[in-house]
Structure 1
Amino acid sequence: MTADGQQNTDDGAVTFVNRFTVHASPDEFERTFVDTAEFLGEQPGFLRYTLLKHVDEQNSYVNIAHWRDVESFRRAVSQPGFKPHAEALRALSTSEPNLYTLRQSFAVDS
Structure 2
Amino acid sequence: MITFVNRFEVHGSVDEFERAFDATSAFFAARPGFLGHRMLRAADLPGRYVNVAEWESREHFERALAHPEFLPHAKALRALATSDPNLYTTVLERTAPK
Identity of aligned residues (%): 50
Structure 2's unaligned 5+ residue stretches are none
Query: In structure 1, the residue corresponding to 2:37 is in which secondary structure?
Result: strand
2:44 to 56, 65, 70: 56
Query: In structure 2, the residue corresponding to 1:36 is in which secondary structure?
Result: helix
When the two structures are superposed, what TM-score results if normalisation uses the length of structure 1?
0.87
Kindly indicate whether residue 61 of structure 2 is the aligned counterpart of residue 73 of structure 1.
Answer: yes
- Kindly provide the CA deviation profile for residues 55-83 of structure 1, in whole angstroms up to 9, marking residues without a partner as x: 11111000000000000000000000001
Superposed CA RMSD in Å reads 0.6
Larger radius of gyration: 1
- In the alignment of these two chains, the number of paired residues is 98
- Residue 27 of structure 2: aligned partner: 39
Structure 1's unaligned 5+ residue stretches are 1-12
Distance 1:89 1:26 in 2: 11
After the TM superposition, list the runs of 4 or more consecutive aligned residues in structure 1 that deviate by more than 2 angstroms. Answer: none
User: What's the offset of the Cα at 1:94?
Assistant: 0.2
- Residue 19 of structure 1: aligned partner: 7
Query: In structure 2, the residue corresponding to 1:38 is in which secondary structure?
Result: helix
Distance 1:78 1:59 in 2: 27
Distance 1:17 1:85 in 2: 17
- Amino acid in structure 2 at the alignment position of 1:105: E
- Residue 101 of structure 1: aligned partner: 89
Distance 1:35 1:59 in 2: 18
